A and B are shown apart, each in its own frame.
Chain A
Amino acid sequence: MENSNPANLKVVYMDRLSSCEIYFNSVQYRRILQNINLSIHKGEVWGISGNSLLEIKLLLEIMANIKPYNDGRCVLIERGMMRLKRIILPHVFYIGTANMIYNSMNVLEYLMFATAKSKTDVVMRQKQLLQLLIDIGLSNISLSPIHTLPDEYKVIIILLVAYLSKSELIVFNIPELKYTSQQVSVVKNIANLCIESGKTLVISTTDSNLIEEVCSHIAFLINGNVAYSGPVRDFCELYDDTTIIIYGNQLESILNFLKNEMPQYNYEVINNQLIISRPAFGYLEDIKFIHNKISQLQLTPNQINLSPKTVKNAVKGILKKHDIQG
């Protein structure tokens, strides 16, 4: 585990880890997490996602050493964690609920209160915090009482406090929340600040947009196992097998024709879009071939697009691959 290069410092290292918690459905037992292997380096932003909120929440709780694990090994910032003791290490900042802040204060006041132990001048500190709120896109709520804000904003404020702390690893574990695009943009700005200051951020979420916008890496859990862990870009390349999206009014005719001509592809019609995909990646060269086939039909669709690789599609792809309904 020793690593001389601080940039490659393993912040989280899990090796064949399994949880103490077990599912039981009157027929069989299964550990909620089993054989988890994960390696997170300093300065990375990880999105932990999966088909079960419970599994991803539990993984991050074990990662922050809030809950014990049964088997395997878990190392945080190159320091081994005791398997059973629930000690939150000083360099780990765990965010597990939106209730951690005082509702009666406003946002700027709370940030002033949270950072009161820093040695900077009060006037200067308030000025800096206000500027920080403006820079990351929270100027609209900077003077709003916290009790008036939805949970998503509350946890973003806590995340901002975590960034202002000295903790090296921030574990952001509230996967049940759904963020708006504006909130995602704020989280992205905070994540960038974390990266700049050498902090590592681990986010549990099922929000594909959040992962796409914010995270550099993703770990995807399926049935208690890590189905994928690595860069988000590779995840999309690997599992988003949508190749072409056709927009138009005569999609049924096009669909029937293509099904006969090219049965090796998968077809799906959603909201006036015909989505054509292959079960595995690497068939982009076929796009020209598909275009030629549609041209033969002499039905001109409104638009034919090469689909961008998205986390949302990749999640669908990985779930389909594991025979799970998304």
Chain B
Amino acid sequence: MIYRDSFFKKELRQTYKQSSLSTNRQFVFGLFIGLAAIALHLVLMTFTDTVLIDAYPYIMQKSFFTTLYTYNFTSLFLIFIYFLIYYHDLTFEEIRKNCWYLLCKMGYKPVLMIFSKIFALLFSLIAIYTTGFAVTAVLTALLKYTFRLDYIPSLYLMGITDLLVLTFILLTSSLFIKRLNIARYFSVFIYIIQIILKNILGYSALVTNRVAMQNPYNLISFGNSPYLMLCFILVVLCIIVCIFRAKTIAKYYSLPSETYNLYNLPAATKILKLESSTGKLQNLYDPERIQRQNRIAKTATITSIALINIIAVLFNIFVIVISISEPNSNSYTGLMPFLFMSDTMQPEISKNDFVCFKALDNTTSLDVGQIVLFKQDNTVYIERIIGTDGENYIVDIDYYPPISQKGSMVKSVPKSQIFGVYIYKNRWLGALIIIANTLWGRIIFMIIPLLLLFFHNQIYNFLRKMQS
């Protein structure tokens, strides 16, 4: 076997020793993203009775638009993770590790390497994205959703744009950031900034508008949102910076971060550097300061883990209490929290909302319009007071389902049967409780905090090892 020795091919296979291995890996990754997007879509479909349907209708519907939109943010997130894992191979980090210095010594031209790297990376990422996009479309067709071609170009353009912006910012930053862990933190920062920017510039609203997404021109139009124009300028700037910066630093040996602690220096010995230009002494290594920083880092990590655990424990207790509590259960605190499982009080209270009722005492007066909890014939009802009839209150539900007879739930209730009055609801808390009661919810809210609790030392040591 004769080994391939082209830099472009090396970049295409991300330095893997066999091109088939690398090609298969990238194809499988694309497939995985597609499957993950459909899995996420199906999971979301189980929460259609929650606040999610109102907050994010575009990801909660049975349509091609929804699955492909879900694919777009799944792919961006997973490709971002892929970037963090293979940061060294995918970005210009290899220049910082002096891999290019060595190649330049062997006759390679930096500018050609830069272009090869950029083109190979784009080709590879677009191939991964397109594979996943196609897989998602095929799987959506298998779900028998109505096929609409007009959304597809806009959704594809949207996904590719996000990918390009993220790729070029990470590529450029890798030329300036020396330490890998800082580069990873910066990548997370960029990812978050990208999301915020989309919201501020109206791009998020544009891409979730089904009517606007039927024409790709709407995405490009500066009048609708300047985001894509900004992305274009950013990408061009990044390419220019990449070419000049990479060309400059590739030729020189890049000193790694000093690890003076490896040199067994005598205790309490500092290393200073005399700056010839200013005559000032710069502190290069101070063991006491490093110890202090390590102590702070350890305290911060342990505190964060402890905080996550405390929140998780409190939340789990809360979820358990809410899950077992019923409207007619005894109240020790004067409050009756539970999940409202019916549509009858829409739009005031929706199905799966977290609601809280206040226990009624003899001094509390009731007014028309209040929602109350009462018991008749051993059945608990939640209805609104619509009037009074002598000593009794006339109550009714707010919403009758289409096939039911209006007015069938009107009741006359004496005050003695009313034991609670509605005071508070939270739709998101309701959704969170429902999610926490699913398998994934149990894993996120119970198993992960338990792991953090028992293995916090190992996690801290692992993080330190990663940093060093």
Where the two chains meet, the residues of A that have a C-beta atom closer than 8 Å to any C-beta of B are: 20-26, 29, 32, 52-54, 57, 61, 64, 66-68, 70, 83-84, 86-88, 93-94, 96-97, 99-106, 108-109, 112-118, 122-123, 126, 145, 158, 161-162, 164-165, 167, 176
Contacts and interface: CB of A to CB of B under 8 A. Distances in A.
Contacts of A167: 105
A86 B276 contact: no
Contact of A66 (B16, B106, B253, B272): B253
A113 B102 contact: no
B262 interface: yes
Contacts of A164: 106
B217 interface: no
Interface string B339-369: 0000000000000000000000000000000
A53 B265 CA distance: 9
Contacts of B265: 52, 54
A23 B99 CA distance: 32
A15 B3 CA distance: 47
Contacts of B256: 96-97, 99
A314 to B, nearest CB: 22
Given A106-B17, A113-B10, 11 more contacts: A22-B272, A22-B273, A23-B271, A53-B264, A66-B255, A70-B276, A94-B101, A103-B15, A109-B3, A118-B107, A126-B2
User: Which of B107, B253, B260, B269 neighbours the largest number of chain A CB atoms within 10 Å of its CB?
Assistant: B253
Contact of B97 (A20, A23, A99, A122): A99
Can you list the 3 inter-chain pairs with the closest CB atoms, starting with the nearest? A117-B107, A116-B5, A54-B263
Contacts of A22: 271-274, 281
A279 B182 CA distance: 54
User: Which of B3, B15, B266, B268 neighbours the largest number of chain A CB atoms within 10 Å of its CB?
Assistant: B3
Given A83-B276, A117-B107, A108 B98 contact: no
A26 B272 CA distance: 12
A100 B97 contact: yes
Contacts of B277: 84
B3 A112 contact: yes
B14 interface: yes
Contacts of A53: 262-264
18 contacts: A21-B274, A22-B273, A23-B269, A23-B270, A25-B268, A25-B270, A52-B265, A53-B263, A54-B260, A66-B255, A99-B97, A100-B102, A101-B99, A102-B94, A104-B16, A113-B5, A113-B10, A162-B105
B276 A100 contact: no
Interface in B1-41: 2-3, 5-7, 10, 14-17
A176 B271 contact: no
Contacts of A21: 271-274, 284
A240 to B, nearest CB: 25
Interface in B143-182: none
B97 A112 contact: no
Contact of A100 (B101, B251, B268): B101
Interface in B101-116: 101-103, 105-108
A104 B281 contact: no
Contact of B271 (A24, A67, A105, A122): A24
User: Which of A21, A66, A165 neighbours the largest number of chain B CB atoms within 10 Å of its CB?
Assistant: A21
Nearest to A158: B102
A176 B5 contact: no
A32 B103 contact: no
Interface in B230-264: 251-253, 255-256, 260, 262-264
Contacts of A64: 253
User: Which of B14, B105, B269 neighbours the largest number of chain A CB atoms within 10 Å of its CB?
Assistant: B105
A109 B252 contact: no
Given A102-B15, A114-B102, A24 B269 contact: yes
Contact of B274 (A66, A70, A103, A104): A70
Contacts of A108: 3
A165 B251 CA distance: 15
A117 B276 contact: no
A203 B10 CA distance: 31
Contact of B105 (A52, A93, A104, A118): A93
Contacts of B98: 96-97, 99-100
B93 to A, nearest CB: 10
B89 interface: yes
Contacts of A23: 269-272
A114 B276 contact: no
